Amino acid sequence: MPLSDAHTGGCQCGAVRFRVTRLGRPSICHCRMCQKAFGGFFGPLVTAHNAVWTRGEPKWFQSSDAARRAFCGECGTPLAYETRFGLELAIGTFDDPTVAAPEIQVNPDDKLPFFDTLTSIPVRHEVSDEWRDFMAGIHSNQHPDHDTEAWPPKGDA
């Protein structure tokens, strides 16, 4: 895959970035460790056969005797999971997460009982003027969804 076809991504603040050209099967892991590591209902991961860190290095937490988990030491974004079988990257950290749409769910014994009904809960479509004004006034410090030459951006300390 040419470099232009590489998939890139990184943490929320931009301190850690990666590039990968060979992805494996994307999955949703329901194990309790993934729930805790992601602070969510599951861990969305994709095998990354040849990922390289292109800016910074993640910090690692040895979450078990068989696995360690990577995260940004600056902003805390969960980035990866690694075992003797290889590295898996967090799907949400890709600049374009649609390149890794999950194909399988694993560790269903730990799946939260309400998971399968999440898409049936009501959706709020109306937005109050107060909320619209609040959202309009927000300045995001999140790194853009593409590689940048420098981090932090000039003008930021």
Is the backbone peptide bond immediately before 113 cis, with ω within 30 degrees of 0?
A: no
Task: Dig out the tokens for 41 from the structure.
Answer: 């209902």
Structure tokens of 105? Answer: 């769910």
pTM above 0.95, yes or no: no
What does each of the 157 residues of the chain score in pLDDT, given as a tens digit? 344 589 999 999 999 999 999 999 999 999 999 999 999 999 999 999 999 999 999 999 999 999 999 999 999 999 999 999 999 999 999 999 999 999 999 999 999 999 999 999 999 999 899 989 898 888 888 888 899 888 776 665 4
pLDDT for 150: 80
Radius of gyration of the chain (CA): 17
Position 133 in a domain: no
Does 122 map to a domain?
no
Give the three-state DSSP class for 87: strand
Inside any domain, residue 56? yes
Q: Number of folded domains in the chain?
A: 1
134 is a domain residue? no
HSE value, Cβ hemisphere, 13 Å, CA-based, for 24 = 16
Residue type, 61: F
Residue 156 backbone class (left: φ over 0; alpha: ψ -120 to 50; beta: rest): beta
- For residue 22, the enclosing domain spans 3-114
Q: What is the CATH number of the domain that holds 62?
A: 2.170.150.70
| 100: in domain | yes
